[in-house]
Structure formats: structure tokens, C-alpha cells
Structure 1
Amino acid sequence: MPTALRLFRYVAIAEACSWAGLLIGMYFKYVAATGDLGVKIFGPVHGALFVLYLAAVLYAARQARWSRATIVVGLVCSVPPLATLWFERRVMARHREPVTA
């Protein structure tokens, strides 16, 4: 697997995990009303990984020669929670090496 796609994959998974952490932190802050420590921790982490994901999409797109439509879908998938996992699976399935016997 080329380095750009490997980097993209790791960042997409990390971004989704940070989304999950932020959502859990928001639950404890706003629903359970037990404190905002989770938001204080995962907010900046998610923000940094969000920006890194956008850069990773553009870098992988350039290296793997993705179409403009694929790039747009990848960038849009940064907004809904955990959508980066769906996009990562879709892209990696297209770039997976065929299995030969």
C-alpha cells in the first residue's frame, strides 16, 4: 500500500475515534451534566485531526489520482460523525491489491 494511502487510512480512523470521544464527552457535559473534561480533552484533539484529515485527503488524492468527485466526497465526509470510516473503507477497497493464487 502506498505511503499516502496508508497515512490517509490512519488519519481517517483516528479522526473517527476522536469524533467518538468528543460525542461521549458532549454526552457527559450536556446530558449527564457531570462535567466537561471529555470536551476539553477531545475538542482540541478532534480539531487537529479534522484539519489533518482534510490535508490527508488532498495528499492521498494527489498521489492516487482520485477524481474531483471522490475528493469532494472525502472532504464532505469530514463533517458528519464517523463518516470518515465509511469513506476510508470505500477508498481502500478500490485500491486494494487483487489477490492472486
Structure 2
Amino acid sequence: MNIDIDALSLKELRDLRIKLDRAIATFEDRKRREAMSAIEEAARSHGFNLAELTGAKPRKTATVAPKYANPDDASMTWTGRGRKPRWVQEQLDAGKSLDDMLI
């Protein structure tokens, strides 16, 4: 692949740089995943998993207790994190406050 860099415009050079940066990033990610797969396979072939050999504890996501409940249906809850559920927005539009929905 021969590219005459001197013949390219500034825009073409910038576009080329963006493409190169993406190609490098995906190459490194792919190589990293391949290396991790090889390491995990080697650990499995010896009867271990990678966490046992490295002493790393498996990551667990912490569950957050719900903070708000729908006054019309208590089974519908929300932690207060992330996007508001539709029922919360409907309650707010109806003139209620978040304090009215606290559990």
C-alpha cells in the first residue's frame, strides 16, 4: 500500500490520521483480547481459572435498594439513579413530588 502523502490535501491528511488512530486502537484491543483468551485457556488447561491464579476476586455489581415506589402500584420501584421511569414522570406531571413517592 503506497500513499503519496505529499499529494494529499490537509483534509485528506486529517481523515487519514483519524482512520489510522481507529485502526491502531482496534488492533491493540484485538491483540489484548487474544492475549487474555490465551492466558485464560492456559489457566484452564492446568485446572484453574484466571481469578484463582491472580488472586483477583470476581467483580460483583452492587445492587442498590429502591428509593421510590409508585403510589398506584407499589411493585413499580426506582432507585433514583439513571433515567426516570415513565411512572415517575407521570406522577411529577400530576403535581406530586419525589418526596411523595419515597419508600
What's the TM-score, normalizing by structure 2?
Answer: 0.29
Q: Which has the higher helix share?
A: 1
Greater relative contact order (Cα 8 A, min sep 6): structure 1 or 2? 1
Larger Rg belongs to: 2
What's the TM-score, normalizing by structure 1?
Answer: 0.30
